[in-house]
Amino acid sequence: MTSAAPSLAIVTDAAANPADLLDSAATAIGFASSIEQAFSKTGSNGQAVVVPAIDGFAAGSPTIADPALVEHLIDLLYDLGAKSVVLGTTEGSDALWAENRDVFMRADLLGYRYVTPAGRDYDIVDLSDDAEDSPFAADSALAGIPLSTTWREAALRVVFAANRTDAADGYALALHTLLSVLPGRDKESLYVRQRDPGAVVHALLSATPVDVAFIDAVVSSHGHGGSARPLSIETRTIVAANDPRVADQAGALKMGLDPQVSRLWYAPPASDETRTSGSLLPYEGWINVTPAARDAVRRRQKDAALDRSVGPLLQQVDTSLFPLRNEANARLNEWLSSFLSMEDIASGRETFAFLEMVLAQLAEARSAWQIMFAKDAIAHKPAALNVSPHDIDEAEWPKVAPAIASQRALLNGCTADAEGLRWRMVDGAVLFDCIRRYPVSLDAFAAAVPIHRTIQFMNDYIGGEAVTVASDDSGRVTRQLERNLYLPQPNFTALLGGDVIDVTKIETVSYGTDRQAMAWQTLFSANDSALADDGMVEFAEVGEDTVVTIFARQHFRQPPLVEAFDLTLLPDLHAWLITDAYRRFASRTFANLEAVLEGRDVRIGKPAAEVDIDEPLPIDGLLTLAERLRDELPDDWIEGLRGRFDWNRSDQPVPDRVDADGFQHFKPTARQKAPVSDRPVLRPWLLDDVSRALAAELGRHG
Amino acid sequence: MKPFQTIVGVRKPLPDLAATVRDRLADIAPALTDVSSIVVIQREDRADGSAQLVNEWRVDPKLPGPVKQAISQDMLGWNDHAVWTADLIECVWRIEPFFMPGAIHCAGTTRFEPAMGGRGTKAIFSGEFEVDAAALTKVPASLRGAAVSAVETVVGSMIPRNFRKTIEAAAELLG
């Protein structure tokens, strides 16, 4: 159900009770007629599903929609003809590190009574339980993700958000709350790290539009720490809209924010008919998360292991209701809380911001290290294709191969180096080609290395998706759209803030008896990391061998610090860097093709799911390791260690003197007086003396 | 004195859950880490419906060699003295360890409340734990305060965790 014209109501009244504010806002957006329309539809099951913000960590927290208000809404829905009303949500990633976070117990502890003030029963459902089929299109960001039947079949879908700042997105209102209908515990991994969160929201709303969104801004949560360190403020307001995007837009403006600061945001369709009542004047005394802090949190979130470790440490928790599962987390959380009190604005805020910046730096340092030296530790980056075949004009396909051929012609006159590489700069892009001969027939080579997948075998490929648009009679791909993600190029730019290269391409493939070729052309780069990444690969039969030629025209954006240095002013250095980078690319890509030919897996990194969802939290991993050590170390390991230090030696050394700083000084033994030339290189006597001094020190307290 | 409290919620009816915790501890034992057995050594069902039980818990934790040498196997365990109300809503308990008897005080209450609109039960476990510093004769006197504090902290966090496992195992037994 969606009414034609969007409606928005912002009701503020310091003297009114919250239930009256809700009633006024509902009336102002024509809630009653919307509901009547929804329930009277043919096939309507008469059920309203309300998704409340219910992810707080204390009863009465301003980060959740007030349960009393939600129960009042349930009464209102029954009064307006609902046959049944259920509250729906799912477990979040916090269930990995805190107790009592399952849907039912969390609701109970946060104040839901399962019966309204008017005595009507309502149920709370875990929307993961009946998430079986996926309603999402193949080109959607949520393709293949199942969605709750209860949510899909609801006659009326309502989101009831809390009014709160968010450390990563600036605000967390209706669209943020909406994400809690999606299955999977580790939502940060599934819907933030592995997908574009805005595309996720778009896909979800396209499949299951929300009819009404409320924001409980009676008592709000503001402050720099977002929902992790909530700070209460009375704002005595209810926002209601018949589109969650409209509600979020108003909510963000009331906070004094551009709605676009959130990664979840995408604008509602422009309408001249939006009926608005109430004021968009920002809340008085409101404190937002600073842009620097938002940026730091987003940078930190990119590192799954770090992000999952930090969550339980920074979150303010009523541990009598939601004890932390891991004792180390509990102690660290308690200790950090004393520094991060948001009540003490000056020190708490700055300590929090400083900590977030340190964590962001740590995340980026780890990421840069992995890109340069530990590629197998990098998580694959699932990146669904972000273009539909319907968006491509039929006339575009035949143009691809000729366009690439004419680009390649610009390399004419270049001499290949000893390794078969040649390159030159044209319009700021690098044009290069390279060649390698494999002692295998074309048939065997092409059977082992499907040419339409060649890009996925290239050096530093870390994720993406290809969708076949057309095939020949033999079922071989002839046209496809592909999105590729590569590690920052050159890799060292990761140290300077270089991002992954994310390019969406149109590709055509041709098959002859003695030649196969694929050409690709850039459509766009979602993160603006590339101006061009066009190219072609050719498998040609030469005698009994196969010759592989790769040509590309690449123009990648570099981080500002690299851009600041115009390396073309130093032509020799520039040429050396380019030659080195493309030699490396060519040798590794050809080695990859050889590996694929031999049936080996060449992909770097590991599946994201393996990294995030199925892996225990790092702290739990440490605990498991400690338990293994406990179980596997011999019982007498402490004695063994003691023996090493020889605690009870009768000739325990006696210090010659103890100086004012407490250092003990020993007389050298005869062995140590040996001539310098006789002393072993590693000087074990020095280690001996350190051991003996340590033994003396330990023995003193033994 | 180290107070502790924890809340555990499960989707099982109160009478079934509480009765399982009172009457089927022996069946729950295998689900608990390091617990080798729980045996009812005394039970008195009173006329008013309440019950008084003494359960003997035997544990077999992995201990470092030196600790193992200091504590013999028969000292690893405790008697749990429990008094249950007739309506199964409350159990008042006291632990009597075999190791350092008299030096360790651990007692508390377990309350069972209906939760989740009658669809489940909340078990609220609270108590206090105290170690008599004077009993730690093997620890240098100057370090006893710190040792007591450390022991209370560790045990104070272990007890609620084991309680949670007990309730969850009881719910599991109910299917």
User: Per residue in A632-642, pLDDT tens?
Assistant: 666 666 556 55
Q: What is the pLDDT of residue A379?
A: 76
The answer to whether A69 touches A216, Cβ cutoff 8 Å, is yes
Residues from chain A that touch B2, judged by Cβ atoms under 8 A, are none
CA dist A372 and A493 (Å) reads 10
Residues from chain B that touch A99, judged by Cβ atoms under 8 A, are 6, 8, 164
Q: Do A108 and B6 touch (CB under 8 A)?
A: no
For an interface test with B, give the residue of A86, A87, A91, A100 to mutate (most B CBs within 10 A): A100
What residues 80-139 of chain B have any CB closer than 8 A to a CB of chain A?
115-120, 122
Please determine, for residue A616, whether its predicted confidence score (pLDDT) is greater than 70. Answer: no
DSSP conformational letter for A237: E
Q: Do B9 and A107 touch (CB under 8 A)?
A: no
Q: How far apart are the two ends of chain B, measured CA to CA in Å? A: 38
Listed in sequence order, the residues at least 6 apart from A563 whose beta carbon sits closer than 8 Å to its beta carbon are A557
CA dist A701 and A699 (Å) reads 5
Which residue among A100, A123, A330 places its CB closest to the CB of B7? A100
Over residues B143-164, mean pLDDT: 73
CA dist A496 and A492 (Å) reads 8
Measured at the CA of A435, the angle between CA A434 and CA A436, to 5 degrees, comes to 140
Residues from chain B that touch A104, judged by Cβ atoms under 8 A, are 9, 11, 116, 119-120
pLDDT classification of B132: cutoffs 50, 70, 90: confident
Q: What is the pLDDT of residue A181?
A: 97
Using CB atoms within 10 Å of the CB of residue A43, give its burial: 0 to 12 exposed, 13 to 18 middle, 19+ buried: exposed
Q: Do B5 and A100 touch (CB under 8 A)?
A: no
Please determine, for residue A683, whether its predicted confidence score (pLDDT) is greater than 60. Answer: no
List, in sequence order, every residue forming a beta bridge with A664; answer none if it has no partner. Answer: A658
Helices (H), A386-491: 400-408, 442-448
Q: What is the pLDDT of residue A662?
A: 64
Q: Is the pTM of this model over 0.80?
A: no
Residues of chain A that touch chain B, judged by Cβ-Cβ distance less than 8 Å: 99-100, 102, 104-105, 107-109, 113-115, 121, 123-124, 320-321, 323, 327, 330, 630-631, 634-639
Min CA distance, B119 vs chain A (Å)? 9
Q: Do A639 and B66 touch (CB under 8 A)?
A: yes
Min CA distance, A174 vs chain B (Å)? 25
Chain B residue with the nearest C-alpha to that of A124: B116
Residue whose structure tokens are 């700083």: A661
Over residues B69-84, mean pLDDT: 84
Which residue among A100, A121, A323 places its CB closest to the CB of B9? A100
Using CB atoms within 10 Å of the CB of residue A215, give its burial: 0 to 12 exposed, 13 to 18 middle, 19+ buried: buried
Over residues A49-70, mean pLDDT: 97
CA dist A432 and B147 (Å) reads 70
Answer whether B9 touches A (CB < 8 Å): yes
Helix, strand, coil in percent for chain B, rounding step 5: 35, 40, 25
Q: Do B116 and A109 touch (CB under 8 A)?
A: no
Q: Do B7 and A109 touch (CB under 8 A)?
A: yes
Over residues A429-440, mean pLDDT: 95
Q: Do A114 and B7 touch (CB under 8 A)?
A: no
Q: What is chain A's mean pLDDT, rounded? A: 86
pLDDT digits (tens, 9 = 90+) for A215-268: 999 999 998 888 998 999 999 999 999 999 999 999 999 999 999 999 999 888
Q: What tokens were used for A432?
A: 């290069």
pLDDT digits (tens, 9 = 90+) for A171-204: 999 999 999 999 988 888 888 887 889 999 999 9
Min CA distance, A67 vs chain B (Å)? 14
Nearest to A225 by CA among A166, A182, A308: A166
pLDDT classification of A537: cutoffs 50, 70, 90: very high
Please determine, for residue A352, whether its predicted confidence score (pLDDT) is greater than 80. Answer: no
CA dist A460 and A471 (Å) reads 28
* H or E element, residue A562: helix A560-563
Q: What tokens were used for A47?
A: 């059920």
Q: Do A639 and B6 touch (CB under 8 A)?
A: no
Give Cα A254 to chain centroid, integer Å: 28
